[in-house]
Amino acid sequence: MDKTRTFLDVKEYPDTEVQKNRVLTLEEWQEKWVSRRIGFHQEQGHKLLKKHLDTFLKGENGLRVFFPLCGKAVEMKWFADRGHSVVGVEISELGIREFFAEQNLSYTEEPIVEIPGGKIFKSSSGNISLYCCSLFDLPRANIGKFDRIWDRGALVAINPGDRERYADIMLSLTRKGFHYLLAVLCYDPTKHAGPPFYVPEAEIKKLFGSICNIHCLEKVDVFEEQHKSWGIDYIIEKLYLFTEK
């Protein structure tokens, strides 16, 4: 018990610049799907999202929910089954096709006119639309604004040098009264180069604090056997809720 408390109280790592020059290309992310290096995918969905779902949704109906870097997140089906409209963006066409196959959903696909080479995959029910393209190209597609954003495995996956551009896009997609839920990981970045990258609280405040109230809902110790291969000895997940100032 004491050990857990010590972990959860761990201080932010002081050298926030250590990963700043790390770059993964879109092709490298696509290759992760091909070679099945997708340890970031959670087959049972995200425990903290499930726990705080009522806080996130506030009992509202018919919301538009955005999933940046969605992969084949099972939570997209959760929201659609509750009557919400889901939009995601993902560079891996393989990941998108696997989502529809694993959720037993029929779908259509068509090119994104505004983005050469991009495609949009839509569930036959019409309430899930997944864009296969770079997130940074997405604003050209005019996808509208959202009531909710679920950011898990997105901000922590973006190259650190692109975070400001990323945050600007995310905030441009929010509607009045939005709720933005963000999951980040805290570990010693001198021992693991990422991704997932370490995003300190100070940076979260710098990126989102001018527009958002920022509240940390929970911190949990998520260290597992696989993390030993990263060279780290602790990893804390933090869940933040952003609301409109």
Binding positions are 29-40, 69, 90, 152
In angstroms, what CA-CA distances link 104 with 49, 91, 99, 119? Answer: 23, 21, 8, 20
CB burial string 208-223: b at 16+ within 10 A, e below: beebbebeebebbbbb
Binding residues for substrate: 40
Radius of gyration of the chain from its Cα atoms, rounded to whole angstroms: 18
Binding residues for S-adenosyl-L-methionine: 29-40, 69, 90, 152
Q: What are the residues whose beta carbons fall under 8 Å from the beta carbon of 73, sequence distance 6 or more?
A: 41, 42, 45, 67, 88, 99, 152, 153
- Asked if 83 and 206 touch (Cβ cutoff 8 Å), the reply is no
Which H helix or E strand runs over 47?
Answer: helix 47-51
Q: Write the DSSP symbol of residue 112.
A: -
> What is d(CA 96, CA 119) in angstroms, rounded to the nearest whole number?
10
Q: Which two tokens stand for residue 65?
A: 């929910």
> What is d(CA 41, CA 102) in angstroms, rounded to the nearest whole number?
13
Q: Which of 155, 172, 174, 171 is nearest to 163 (CA)?
A: 155
- Asked if 133 and 115 touch (Cβ cutoff 8 Å), the reply is yes
